[in-house]
A and B are shown apart, each in its own frame.
Chain A
Amino acid sequence: MLAEKYLRDAMMPHIWCPGCGHGIILQAVLRAIEKAGLDQDKTVIVSGIGCSSRASGYVNFDTLHTTHGRALAFATGVKLAKPELNVIVLTGDGDALAIGGNHFIHACRRNIDITTIVFNNSIYGMTSGQYSPMTPAGKFATTSPYGNIDRNFDVCELAKAAGATYVARSTAYHAASMPDLIVKAIKNKGFSVVEAISQCPTYYGRRNKMGSAVDMLNWQKENTVNVAAAARLQPEQLAGKIIIGELYNNPAPEFTQQYEELIARLQGGEE
């Protein structure tokens, strides 16, 4: 059973609120790991700080729960020092894109073989509801009591522009199809980003009058369009819609592979 194999009993119960989407997304990550056939002893899960980043403690691998925003920098050290390890980073919208924004774009640029899952709940949940770089303009948070003036990132466009070689988006509602996207992200030899839209009924949902967790899941269903379907729609039909599915898949030379080749070349005495 998936839970018995991959969850740490001693760490249960988890700290996530009732209705939180993070558990659904973590399940999709574990299903993907199983489906991709990763060796449990050769897989390292790295996370930063925040609600989503607590996930590293719950799963039965070598796990590294780092400082706020720095997960990708720690993961880069792990992967470069021991390239045979599979490295998966679990992070949130604030962790990856505010305090960790610089590490995020440079990990993309480097195309290092790390798979990053961004749990995007549009809010800082751990500190009880401040706006994040993924909180849409106009939305409410404890630090945007008059509506958010900041604009939000599109993390998938950002990842693509910065050099990630596999980019996909899914939502907690689409739990059934999310694992396949993550499997492809894992299989991509390079830097992969999967944005997983999550619901935070406790802080984001309540403040923005989005109803219950079920209502928020329905919102995810109604406001997303699969990338294949989107291709057949006119721009005005797509206004306000979130495109999900595989958004970009364009392999390029991978960092640690190139470093291994450099070592081989130098130790072969060619230079």
Chain B
Amino acid sequence: MSPTVKLLQGNEACVEGALAAGLRFFAGYPITPSTEIAEALSERLPRVGGRFIQMEDEIASMAAVIGASLTGAKAMTATSGPGFSLKQENLGFAMLTEVPCVVVNVMRGGPSTGLPTSPAQADVMQARWGTHGDHPVIALYPASVPEVYEVTIKAFNLAEKFRTPVILLMDEVIGHMRERIELPDTPPVPVVERQRPTVPKEDYLPYDNSQDVPPLASFGDGYRFHVTGLIHDQKGYPTSAPAKVEALLTRLQNKIQSNLDEILMWETIGMEDAEVAVFAYGATARSAVRAVRIAREQGIKVGLLRPITIWPFPDKLISQYTSQLKALIVAEMNLGQLVDEVERATKGQVPIKRVLQANGELIAPDTILRAVLEVK
């Protein structure tokens, strides 16, 4: 059958992607500019036998999502900056206890209540380090409505495969903008299901350190296992024995770091012969594409580096081009967050030009183009 063509908001495309990935539980709390996700799922989920609940706050939404996921349901919540701050507590719980879930943050300007209906890329560092303690994190960042659909499915796949929360960051303008999208009958990427234990129940180790990602049983299946936010041994029981603490925290890092090929996604444009590159993500990358195109028409050898996975940071996206570049422009809608990561990845080999803007408006193509002309 031919795909259904629709004109959808990013928030709606996120709902379509989540349902295509098998979402069956959503808990949320109203917050601009993400509310459409909750609204649509309150209508859609019960029709497919899933469950929606509006919780009393953002903390509770994150908690309910984890509880639901432990029964085997694919689970998601959606919020914006202030709510994302509140979710950090239980986001850390999900990371340590290795409970798959997807957390959408349709970003607005901050800090605090900030600019509720204006775009900003201000939470990229919070996505990395918002919750306390050493922890790995996966954060994805689509740049168009069709990409939101596909990346949402991938977010669920990564969450289930690596038993971890996955953060999906969206710009306010992507969340609310309408674009043409084709929705196929079957998902454009294969849907991943979580690995279940096959060992006898008495031998089950929910935190088995001999594998990157131990299988996860569901509550009610008879495994009778313990889940705690305390540092735990392989059985899931609390421990403070240094060797066991180290084994767990090391495995948590390794399960992400040793699978970067599967986790990292990016797009490049015109990098084959580029001497100047623009590094940009999300809505800013759309302005960068335009700036690159205009500069190319003027004969300037410029290209685009657009990460789709921003955490773990795609060092290789940068490092593979450092020898050919004489300048690198980093454009982001904040006062300088990912630019320091880019600088680290270049190991000082390429001068960096910062195009930073945090006034509630998109960075215009002209602004990026001027930077290109300055450094060419």
Contacts and interface: CB of A to CB of B under 8 A. Distances in A.
Interface in B70-84: 70-73, 75
Interface in B217-240: 218-230, 235, 237-238
A262 to B, nearest CB: 5
B219 A85 contact: yes
Interface in B33-89: 46-47, 49, 51, 53, 55-57, 59-61, 63-73, 75, 89
A80 B224 contact: no
B206 to A, nearest CB: 10
B51 A62 contact: no
Interface in A36-84: 40-42, 44, 46, 56-57, 60-67, 70, 73-82, 84
Contacts of B93: 66-67
A52 B56 CA distance: 24
A177 interface: no
A102 interface: yes
B19 interface: no
B55 A73 contact: yes
Contact of A103 (B56, B222, B235): B56
A41 B75 contact: no
B49 A263 contact: yes
Contact of B220 (A57, A85, A106): A85
A57 B228 contact: yes
A1 interface: no
Contacts of A42: 220
Contacts of A219: none
B224 A78 contact: no
Contacts of A67: 63, 89-90, 93, 229
Contact of A262 (B24, B46, B221): B46
A85 B73 CA distance: 14
B25 interface: yes
Contacts of B227: 63-65
A80 B220 contact: no
Given A66-B93, A81-B73, A76 B224 contact: no
A132 B25 CA distance: 35
A2 interface: no
A77 B222 CA distance: 19
Contact of A102 (B56, B61, B70, B89): B56
Given A81-B75, A82-B71, A76 B53 contact: yes
B25 A77 contact: yes
A70 B90 contact: yes
Contacts of A102: 56-57, 60
A47 to B, nearest CB: 9
B63 A77 contact: yes
A259 B71 contact: no
A103 B68 CA distance: 16
A41 B90 contact: no
A8 B224 CA distance: 10
Nearest to B223: A62
Contacts of A79: 67
A267 interface: yes
B194 to A, nearest CB: 14
A62 B228 CA distance: 11
Given A73-B55, A76-B55, A266-B46, A40 B68 contact: no
A11 interface: yes
A10 interface: yes
A108 B90 CA distance: 22
A271 B46 CA distance: 12
A41 B291 CA distance: 60
B220 A77 contact: no
B122 interface: no
Interface in A2-20: 8, 10-11
A74 B62 CA distance: 8
B66 A77 contact: yes
Contact of A70 (B63, B69, B221, B228): B63
Contacts of A40: 224
A10 B53 CA distance: 37
B27 interface: yes
Given A77-B68, A82-B71, A70 B60 contact: yes
A20 to B, nearest CB: 18
A74 B224 contact: no
Nearest to B67: A77
Contacts of B67: 46, 64, 73-79, 81
B198 to A, nearest CB: 18
Contacts of A11: 237
Contacts of B89: 67, 70
A160 B219 CA distance: 30
A74 B64 contact: yes
A22 to B, nearest CB: 17
Interface in A254-271: 259, 262-263, 266-267
A60 to B, nearest CB: 6
A165 to B, nearest CB: 18
Given A66-B93, A81-B68, 12 more contacts: A41-B224, A62-B219, A67-B93, A73-B55, A73-B67, A75-B67, A77-B65, A79-B67, A81-B73, A82-B219, A102-B60, A263-B46
7 contacts: A64-B67, A67-B229, A77-B64, A81-B72, A82-B71, A102-B56, A102-B60
Interface of B: 24-25, 27, 46-47, 49, 51, 53, 55-57, 59-61, 63-73, 75, 89-90, 93, 218-230, 235, 237-238
Interface of A: 8, 10-11, 40-42, 44, 46, 56-57, 60-67, 70, 73-82, 84-85, 102-103, 106, 259, 262-263, 266-267
- What are the 10 tightest A-B residue pairs by CB atom distance, in nearest-first order? A77-B67, A77-B64, A73-B63, A81-B68, A73-B60, A65-B228, A82-B71, A106-B56, A77-B68, A74-B67
